[in-house]
Structure 1
Amino acid sequence: MSQVLTLWNKTTALPQGKRIFSLLFSQKAPYFATIHPRFQEIRPNYAELVIPKRRAVHNHIKTVHAIALCNGLEAAMGALAEVTIPADKRWIPKGMDISYTAKATSDITCIAETDPEQWTSDNPDLPVRVKGVRDDGEVVIEGVIKLWVTPKAPKK
């Protein structure tokens, strides 16, 4: 079991466990802390978090800034990748293709999804489907984060 999934399982068994996990996850890649992610669900092939709409992530029209949205999508993708990737492989992001489809006028739920067979393929290109959804169900951002998945180098 991955370290991230182990941490998720241990912390979510505690009171305020999702909050504790979110804080700890944000320490792994400190830039994630700028959006104050609140992880809601993590399992193989799926991760979901919420970006709270607050002044620190606003743009000039007082909606959640596009780059804050991308940061949330990348955090969800990273959690998904860590809990899904086979133990003999490694991953790194290599691109993002995103469309902004509506104003982000509320908290935004960021979702990352893959299919199980993507992780067992010999193709190193692995597209992760991502989207951000407003409280009213409207998708405000969607696209793909492209991963490069390769076998781990043998240990010497």
Structure 2
Amino acid sequence: MNLLELYKRANRVPGVGKGAFSLAFALKAPYFLTIAPTVVELRPNHAEVRVRNWWGVHNHIGTVHAIALANGLEMAMGALAEATIPAHLRWIPKGMELEYLALSDSAMLAVADTDPEAWTQPGEIAVRVQATRSDGVATVRGVIRLHVSERKRAAVSASAG
């Protein structure tokens, strides 16, 4: 079962499904747990992750640290990639470019987006990312670049079954 199917199945459980899915997904890369994430929306070419505003992610001025937001944006990008990529392809992050636009002083929404045509063949994909405060102000904006390549034949067969 792929990530998108797991997300849909988990969301059928009122009250706990989203949290359980988010915890399980964050455990795949335990550093994600530091941002107390919740995957609030996931579909092909789009993902949203809520980053909690708590002292464990604060910087020296008491706002959400830029690197915590980068972590949330990377989690959103990874969820998007897993929900979108065709079975015969694989991805790995290649680089990240972020602009810090404003103070992040609330719970944050980390959003990742791509265009459907980007996933048709191997190459580089630019995933657009943005973190937004609860008042709608974008505080971080940028791109995470992915290297997409063909899977080995055996891996494609195993993932299809």
The interval holding the TM-score normalised by the smaller chain is over 0.9
Report the Cα distance in structure 1 between the residues aligned to 2:137 and 2:151, rounded to whole angstroms.
39
Per-residue deviation, 1:18? 0.7
Paired residue total: 154
Matched residue, 1:52: 52
Per-residue deviation, 1:121? 3.8
Matched residue, 1:70: 70
Matched residue, 2:159: none
Report the Cα distance in structure 1 between the residues aligned to 2:71 and 2:7, rounded to whole angstroms.
20
1:138 and 2:134 matched: no
- Listed one character per residue, the Cα deviations across residues 118-155 of structure 1 (whole Å, up to 9, x for unaligned) are 00145x11000000000111100010000000111222
- Structure-2-length-normalised TM-score: 0.93
Matched residue, 2:26: 26
1:39 and 2:39 matched: yes
What is the percent sequence identity of the aligned residues? 51
Matched residue, 2:128: 129
Report the Cα distance in structure 2 between the residues aligned to 1:95 and 1:86, rounded to whole angstroms.
21
Matched residue, 1:119: 119
- Report the secondary structure of 1:24's partner residue: helix
Amino acid at match of 1:46: H
- Report the secondary structure of 2:146's partner residue: strand
RMSD, matched Cα: 1.1
Amino acid at match of 1:115: D
Q: Which runs of 5+ in 2 are unaligned?
A: 156-161
1:90 and 2:94 matched: no
- Listed one character per residue, the Cα deviations across residues 56-115 of structure 1 (whole Å, up to 9, x for unaligned) are 000000000011000000000000000100010000001001000000010000000001
Amino acid at match of 2:89: K
Amino acid at match of 1:23: L
Matched residue, 1:147: 146
Report the Cα distance in structure 1 between the residues aligned to 2:128 and 2:84, rounded to whole angstroms.
14
- Report the secondary structure of 2:154's partner residue: coil
Amino acid at match of 1:149: V
Per-residue deviation, 1:51? 0.4
Amino acid at match of 1:120: T
- Listed one character per residue, the Cα deviations across residues 18-56 of structure 1 (whole Å, up to 9, x for unaligned) are 111111101111111110101110000000011010100
